[in-house]
Amino acid sequence: MTAREYNFDGLVGPSHNYAGLSFGNVASFSNVKSESNPREAALQGLAKMRALAARGFGQALLPPHARPNFALLRSLGFTGSDAQVISSAAKTSPVILAAAYSASPMWTANAATVSPSPDTADGRAHFTPANLNNKLHRSYEHVQTARALRAIFHDERHFAVHDALPPTPAFGDEGAANHTRLCADHGAPGVEMFVYGRVEFQPDAPSPRRFPARQTREASEAVARLHGLDPRRAVFIQQDPDTIDQGVFHNDVIAVGNGNVLFYHQQAFADEAASLDGLRRVLADTGADLVAVRVDASDVTVADAVGSYLFNSQLLSRPEGGMALLVPRECRENAAVDRYLDRLVASGGPIDELLTFDLRQSMRNGGGPACLRLRVALTEQEAAAMHQGVIMTEALHARLVPWVQKHYRDRLAPADLADPQLAVETCAALDELTGILGLPSLYDFQC
């Protein structure tokens, strides 16, 4: 069946800020407390969406979440009017207020794991929102994510949106950032590769020492079961714990796959040879030959990969054939990575085009092009059955840019989160957005 991949990018919300909330994510930690520019962040994201839509790629968006999360703040004992809740949180615990204000849902690679219909037992596309329970500021995203996914993929004949896994360390789940689908074609049955950082029920299994492993094998296996994947086409691979300790907090910081191509760093996996052999064998059963594009540490070190986000790129099958790699500007600013990329596109391999985007605002929080998008492969029928208002077009882009310019601040310092006006502005912005996207009652404040 013909199918097309849609990239659902997270529309950056009005409270985008640098709060240093993600221990183990080098960029988040090093830019802590600097000033952000939410307007520029949203416009950078929209420019990427527009460019890909214009090139004929399937492009859509997921809306930001309401901020601050008053339910979180109230559940932690802050009381009174909304303004009083903000002011007492700001005085007592600025870090909790920052967690309630985080615009982290913009990184939709962590919104959910998606299995397209050719892979699942009931022939529907399955979604499991990620519980993201390793970080307070991300641990409550799944509630609104499930609501948005159910609003967009509402037709239960085609789509199943599950609840997130139990929010406990045994089932730490970070969604599609640790999940890659390899296939002959988006519409053909594929192999779903799950990469985990540790094993809860096997304490002697290797795990990182310095930084947390956010994804467990148990979580990945549960998602595969929920989605009804054929066990012969689901592969579970351990990430190299040493690279997690070097800042590779998700597999999508060290590998990216598309079609039959896996672009990865030699230190991505705990056991490279066995992982690649297994993938090759399983993929061969679907009629596809794995093309492994391995980057050697002698060409690009793990530190360069983390600093440039070379692997947090989007690997895209062009409608007219061939593959393009969409990288952040930081890749061209790193001498070793820049040299490598020039060689890569000249090598005669599957990747023959580079697209470079300025996503600096997101990058400074450790989110590159791949973090900003959730891939959903859809048949024509499924694409027609989803909510159409989130599909990126010139017309939607032309409405969203002035909406951003009207509502978003161009500077946000940590202390600004204490300003009750920011909550009022955010609410007004999102209320108007639901009209633009045709998604009424998307947020609690609208019920």
Q: Which is the catalytic residue, given 265, 371, 382, 407?
A: 371
Buried b (16+ CB within 10 A) or exposed e, 65-97: bbbbbbebbeeeebeeebeebbbbbbeeebebb
Site for ligand SUO in 189-208 (CB under 6 A): none
Both structure tokens of 427: 């609410």
Q: Count Cα atoms within 13 angstroms, Cβ side, for 20.
A: 11
Kindly state whether residue 260 participates in binding ligand SUO, applying the rule CB under 6 A.
no
Decide if 337 contacts 344 (C-beta within 8 A). Answer: no
Which residues have CB under 8 Å from 118's CB, separation 6+?
1, 3, 183, 187, 188, 189, 190
Residues 72-111 that bind ligand SUO (CB under 6 A): 102, 104, 107, 109-110
Q: Any bridge partners for residue 180, and if so which?
A: 193
Q: Choosing from 250, 265, 331, 382, which is the catalytic residue?
A: 250
Q: How many residues bind ligand SUO (CB under 6 A)?
A: 19
Report the residue number, 101 or 153, with the smaller CB distance to ligand SUO.
101
Q: Which is nearer to ligand SUO, 21 or 226 (CB)?
A: 21
Nearest approach in angstroms of CB 402 to ligand SUO is 27
Among the listed residues 39, 126, 217, 250, the single contact to ligand SUO using CB under 6 A: 250
Report the residue from 19, 254, 255, 316 that binds ligand SUO according to the rule CB under 6 A.
Answer: 19
**Helix, strand or coil, per DSSP, at residue 308:** helix
- Residue 15 or 286: the one with the smaller Cβ distance to ligand SUO is 15
Residues at the binding site for substrate are 19-28, 110, 137-138, 214, 252, 365
Q: Is 21 in the site for ligand SUO (CB under 6 A)?
A: yes
Q: Which amino acid is at 436?
A: I
Peptide bond into 68 cis (omega under 30): yes
Q: How far is the CB of 66 from ligand SUO (least distance, A)?
A: 17
- Which of 52, 177, 385, 433 touches ligand SUO by CB under 6 A? 177
Beta bridge partners of 198: 216
The reply to whether 67 sits near ligand SUO by the rule CB under 6 A is no
- Select from 7, 15, 28, 178 the one that contacts ligand SUO (CB under 6 A): 28
Stretch that binds ligand SUO, among 112-120, 217-225, 319-327, 360-368 (CB under 6 A): 360-368
Contacts of 384 (CB under 8 A, 6+ apart): none
- Collect all residues with Cβ–Cβ distance below 8 Å to 201 and sequence separation of at least 6: 170, 218
Closest CB 36 distance from ligand SUO, rounded Å? 9
CB of 383 to ligand SUO, least distance (A): 25
Contact segment (CB under 6 A) with ligand SUO among 14-22, 42-50, 202-210, 316-324 equals 14-22
- Is 174 annotated as catalytic? yes
Q: Does 69 bind ligand SUO (CB under 6 A)?
A: no
Report 367-396 residues binding ligand SUO (CB under 6 A): 367, 371
- For 16, the 3-state DSSP assignment is coil
Structure letter (DSSP) for residue 58 = E
Instruction: Report if residue 25 touches ligand SUO, rule: CB under 6 A.
Output: yes
Please tell me the distance from the alpha carbon of residue 248 to that of residue 113, in angstroms, as a whole number: 19
* One residue of 37, 113, 243, 365 binding ligand SUO per CB under 6 A: 365
Q: Return binding residues.
A: 19-28, 110, 137-138, 214, 252, 365
Phi, psi of 164 (to 5 degrees): -65, 160
DSSP calls for 100-139: HH--GGG-GGGTEEEE-GGGBTTSSEEEEE---TTSHHHH
> Among the options 174, 192, 200, 218, which is catalytic?
174
Contact 262/255 with Cβ under 8 angstroms?
A: yes
235 phi and psi angles, rounded to 5 deg: -120, 135
Between 117 and 215, CB nearer to ligand SUO:
215
List contacts with ligand SUO (CB under 6 A). 18-22, 25, 28, 102, 104, 107, 109-110, 138, 177, 250, 365-367, 371
Catalytic residues: 174, 250, 371
